[in-house]
Structure 1
Amino acid sequence: MQLSLVQKYNVPGPRYTSYPTVPYWEEDLFHVEDWKASLVRSFKESNATEGISLYIHLPFCESLCTFCGCNKRITKRHEVEHPYILAVLKEWRMYCDLFPRKPIIKEIHLGGGTPTFFSPENLELLINGIFQYAEKATAYEFSFEGHPNNTTRQHLQKLYDLGFRRVSFGVQDYAEKVQQAIHRIQPFHNVAKVSFWAKEIGYTSIGHDLIFGLPFQTLSNVKDTIDKTKSLLPDRLAFYSYAHVPWIKGNGQRGFNDEDLPKDDEKRQLYEEGKKMLATNGYHEIGMDHFALENDTMFTSFKEGKLHRNFMGYTASKTQLMIGLGVSSISDSWYSFAQNEKTIEDYYSRLEANQLPVFRGHLLTPEDLVIRKHILNLMCQFTTSWNDVSMQFPELEAIHSNLEEMEADGLLKFLDHGIIVTEKGKPFVRNICMAFDLRLIRKAPETKLFSMTI
């Protein structure tokens, strides 16, 4: 019996928020002093023209969502907020001391964990502390992730007053059985309330995050969730495949059994039907698993070929330098990656010793930089070219050969010195990127590292 495309291509694979992917970092060749040098190099090249991006990880959550793969600390003790913010600001000052001049910040994203775990007053302390040592770019974009159950109007107003104009709310799915399985009880009226507040206050981009492939999720659940979402008309949507990686995240993803998850073609149907509904309601597919209305900056960026992807996910504009602050955050100087300590205790310990809290990283080779550009092109624009000699590499002929089967399956088309992903191939863009991933090709993982591509 002939396998369906989903069965054929549903293999473990990276999500490509970076290349090389974290499991392939050469940590033994990485030194913090090299990271600092690459950081300063990138700052000198790009600060005046682009500015820099900041990702700030706020890890605390009051309860554990069992679908979540993020770094988090579960606590109801809100006295943890203030010392954590002081630690993040100390880390930021240490970076600013390395720069030859004041940084210009183009993007800030507050992620988690649950950023709205923190009080509006402490979030104000954080942002004002950042700008003691920095300036805002002319066209800046500040965004944060809000939990609909604990985001107050005061949160939204305070962050708006501080310059935030984009907010994303984690919805996942509205079905009660699914919510119970993933321990995320979140009624529709909570999401509606915070979405209406955000619009009233003046946010120009409101996003909802939806997930398909969750335990007990059915096609009728997905349709109901998208119908409810349509009634609120968020400006952009993420419609992700659930990444089931319990071997990495431990008991945090064991609130249900593996057999409770929709598989293969059943799971893909959830996406395809959801995608059709989104298109009917005016949402355009932007990159992988992201959709936007025509009024949103993400749509404009995609149409103009300016969409970018980094450890924050998709962004409407590119900055060469992105600094991650807070526990487990990853920074990117374009020439190097650096990740902070993963536990709050180790993070605090490094800072108390007046050290950057970096515990591992990777220095990109010239080959890495070429492959990174190809993968970025595919993830952001669904096309890449090797017409320019700077985009060529010795294994290109072998990779061309590997892509021929995907072309035969209708997932891509060959151009003169390049490829373009077809509509049929967009759900398989991770697989197409894997064909360029020289580090993955040379050394296939011996243990489970990645979630399934479909």
Structure 2
Amino acid sequence: MIEELIKKYNVPVPRYTSYPTAPCWGDSLGTMDSIESIIKKSFRKSNTKSGISIYIHLPYCENLCTFCACNRIITKNHKVEDSYIEAVLTEWQRYRSLFDGTPIIRELHLGGGTPTFFSPENLKYLIESIMKDAKMHESHEFSFEAHPGITTEEHLDTLYNVGFNRVSFGVQDFDEIVQETINRKNDYETVKSITEKAREIGYSSVNYDLIYGLPKQKLSSVEDTIEKVALLMPERIAFYSYAHVPWKMKMQRTFTDEDLPDNAEKRALYEKGKELLISSGYYDIGLDHFSLESDDLYKAYKERRLHRNFMGYNTSHTKMLIGLGASSISDFDTMYIQNEKHVSKYEKKIQENRWAYERSYILTPEDECIKRAILDIACKRQLSITPEIRTYLTKSDFETLSVMQSEGLIMFDEDTLTVTDLGMIFLRNICSVFDRNYDVNKQFNFSKSI
């Protein structure tokens, strides 16, 4: 039964960090007056109620990880740090000029690339410059992504002292053959040491990124990796499916399809990993995320206040997410907007005193309704089928949901949809039923769901 479901539903599907998803957005922009008006409205709506969120993209890495599909630049020239940080700060000040009050920062995340490519001094300067005319929310959550091999105790100390309380280490897999294949080397002792330092300093939550479906990965390597992870017990784990998109990321052509596990093997890797994580005390939050019971992520999940945006699952449901830096995406509740992806073009626009925007999307009332529905399914495992939602669902949609119910993926009646434990495996597929733009035969931009 499970093998048949995997065969059926292992198709390209969005991860639903937004709705509508990014490929649906247009390349054109509205007038700057209309965009700035939406930004001002979003700030007023979010800041006084829950604060705002900031994502800063730091795109540089010293070495190329061949599995990675992120927007990054490979260089060992650290002189690039200064001009990039100044561009980010100039961009922030432009946002700041639109606000009619002091921004209250609830959530701040440094992503990449490799944020710890930047020196501790530059990271301190970046954060202090943003916070000098802002307030830190009393329940703030500041986090950053880190490569265990290049992150120093000074990095951890410096960021902790400017307000960071969470860190995410990219571990991926401890197997030497897998690491050699993907050019990402993290031995257990290095990860153990940097994790212990983070906890000694005072970080309240440590996350590990792990990946299943990597080239040359075997069941034994997943077992060994998670057994070692369980010795260190990070509060959160993101157990991602490897996204093989060589048509977008040429470096993924350094290995072949023969190096990758087939569908059944890949699912076995996930099932073994999930089994070991649960037996070690972790809870399945959804969409590849696991958490210890003591962590805020699990508490938010149980209390049905979990949220999802471009930073993944989080506990701070703000109505404004400002993306700073090249390729960053902002979510202003009723509008998405993405910056120029190329660093040189991004910096040039900022230097010319322009917004660095490349494309945008303004949500319709229908989009807003479907966005709320997909968030409820992904974050709460439950959706109330309101009359408004019904107006956007077709006869075919209801038939699909009925089939999913017969397969044991959901419990569904006239008023409520509830995702079952089996359905958690196919959460992205369930969300896609509500996606007005989704056509499985045309979705080549997304990774497969399993």
TM-score bin, normalised by smaller chain: over 0.9
Partner residue, 2:347: 348
1:285-434 aligned within 5 A: 285-387=284-386, 389-434=387-432
Alignment partner of 1:150: what SS? coil
Distance in 1, matches of 2:247 and 2:382, equals: 33
CA gap of 1:265–1:55, structure 2 versus 1, over 3 A, is same
1:218-229 aligned within 5 A: 218-229=218-229
Instruction: Name the amino acid aligned to 1:320.
Output: K
Per-residue displacement from partner, 1:99-151 (whole Å, max 9, x unpaired)?
11121110000000000001110000000110122111121110001110000
Deviation, 1:418, is 2.0
- One of 442, 448, 454 as aligned partner of 2:444: 448
Equivalenced residue count is 450
1:213/1:270 contact within 8 Å kept: yes
Partner residue, 2:263: 264
1:23/1:449 contact within 8 Å kept: yes
2:210/2:237 contact within 8 Å kept: yes
Distance in 2, matches of 1:368 and 1:26, equals: 15
TM-score, normalising length: structure 1: 0.96
**Is residue 112 of structure 2 the alignment partner of residue 121 of structure 1?**
no
**Is residue 434 of structure 2 the alignment partner of residue 436 of structure 1?**
yes
Amino-acid identity (%): 50
Alignment partner of 1:149: what SS? coil
| Aligned-pair Cα RMSD in Å | 1.5
Distance in 2, matches of 1:352 and 1:67, equals: 33
2:393/2:434 contact within 8 Å kept: no
Distance in 1, matches of 2:65 and 2:102, equals: 39
Alignment partner of 1:16: what SS? coil
Distance in 1, matches of 2:8 and 2:441, equals: 19
CA gap of 1:296–1:3, structure 2 versus 1, over 3 A, is closer
1:120/1:154 contact within 8 Å kept: yes
Distance in 2, matches of 1:261 and 1:59, equals: 27
Which structure 1 residue ranges, 5 or more long, are not aligned? none
Alignment partner of 2:142: what SS? strand
2:104/2:136 contact within 8 Å kept: yes
Instruction: Name the amino acid aligned to 2:368.
Output: L
1:245/1:451 contact within 8 Å kept: yes
2:3/2:264 contact within 8 Å kept: no
Distance in 1, matches of 2:33 and 2:61, equals: 34
Distance in 2, matches of 1:145 and 1:80, equals: 19
Instruction: Name the amino acid aligned to 2:437.
Output: R
Per-residue displacement from partner, 1:306-334 (whole Å, max 9, x unpaired)?
11100011111211100000010000001
Deviation, 1:19, is 0.4
Partner residue, 1:146: 146
Bigger mean CA deviation after superposition, 376-385 or 34-43: 34-43
2:411/2:420 contact within 8 Å kept: yes
Alignment partner of 2:238: what SS? strand
Partner residue, 1:69: 69
Distance in 2, matches of 1:81 and 1:177, equals: 33
